[in-house]
Amino acid sequence: MIDPGGDKTNVSARRTWGGSVDLAIASVPFVFVILWSSGYIVAKFTLDYAQPFTILLLRFVLVSAIFAVIAIATRAPWPRRRAEYFNIALVGILLQTVYMGGIYGALNLGISAGVGSLVMALQPIITAAVVGPLFGEKVRPLQWLGLILGFAGVAFVLADKVEFDFDGWAGIGFCFAALGGITTATLYQKRYGTGSDLRTGQAVQYLAAAIATAPIAFGIGIGEIDWSLPFLLGLAWILFPLSVGTYTLYLWLIRRNAATRVTSYLYLVPPVTALIAWPMFGETMGPIALAGMVLAVAGVALVVRK
């Protein structure tokens, strides 16, 4: 027996499924931002169980192995020239050893997750409004305004949230070292990017970072590692949702020609990180810090706005 309403039902079902797919696609950049924000949270969390550079060394070695297995299993092409390996390795050291090392070092010295993420949010501002002209990119008046607002906002937050003793100054130093690392890595990749496969590229980058981080970790002292369940869960989150999951989302966005959305949503990372850190670590912000957060986020938004 033919259902007279069958065609209408199928059309309705297709619309429902289509709407669900569209909603899922639209939510991907937000998922990316949440994952990125969680990196600061899980970094601070795992520092209770191991030394900062010990955690990073474990991360770099394991993630390099994971991407090498993925590359071999999928027959991804490896770089063919030494110059390609050098460029990939240098970006890996800047992006992982310097950037991540700065973040973990700052958090280990008492800098809050929200403050750390806010300083890192200045990266698009520095790239677009300060160093951008070196590459012939025109800086718009709104971007200069964003630069001023961004740095003013961060200054307010630092003044309100950081104790200006030795650890406080050292923590700020680590933050800006991390900021320099990620900014330099971005500019170097832009200037000397090889277009290598991301699977093999990540394997080489993390291996280079592991080699560069090992002397630091062993020089400071590996220290005692608390292999308890919380630490193992934190390490698993670092390895898969962060390192592999974020990479997978990035690839998916690239294939859908939507990777530029990620840049436009990066200014959401500091408030999202602060919201997560509040119940987890009891990190709160007073009126001055909140005003600074709003100023800094507005500044980044102006810089990345098309």
Residue 260 confidence (pLDDT) = 45
Q: How far apart are CA 257 and CA 249, in angstroms?
A: 12
Residue 253 confidence (pLDDT) = 61
Each residue's pLDDT expressed in tens, for the chain with a length of 306 residues: 445 555 555 545 445 445 555 665 667 777 888 888 999 999 999 999 999 999 999 999 999 999 999 999 999 999 989 999 999 999 999 999 999 999 999 999 999 999 999 998 888 778 776 666 766 767 778 878 888 888 898 999 998 888 889 999 999 999 999 999 988 887 887 777 657 788 898 999 999 999 999 999 999 999 999 999 999 999 999 999 988 887 667 656 655 554 444 555 667 888 889 989 999 999 888 899 899 999 988 888 887 776
Can you list the pairs that 272-278 forms with residues at least 24 positions away whose Cβ atoms lie under 8 Å? 272/33, 272/34, 272/37, 273/37, 273/40, 273/41, 273/113, 273/114, 273/116, 273/117, 274/113, 274/114, 274/117, 276/37, 276/38, 276/41, 276/113, 277/40, 277/41, 277/44, 277/112, 277/113, 277/114
- By residue count, the chain amounts to 306
Judge contact between 194 and 24, C-beta under 8 A: no
Query: Angle at CA 209, nearest 5°, toward 171 and 150?
Result: 40
86 CB contacts (<8 Å, ≥6 apart)? none
Q: How far apart are CA 301 and CA 265, in angstroms?
A: 8
Residue 259 confidence (pLDDT) = 44
Residue 4 neighbours by CB distance under 10 Å = 7
Judge contact between 233 and 270, C-beta under 8 A: no
Separation of CA 246 from chain center: 9
Task: Report CA dihedral (90, 92, 94, 96) to the nearest 10 degrees.
Answer: -160
Residue 123 confidence (pLDDT) = 81
Q: How far apart are CA 156 and CA 232, in angstroms?
A: 36
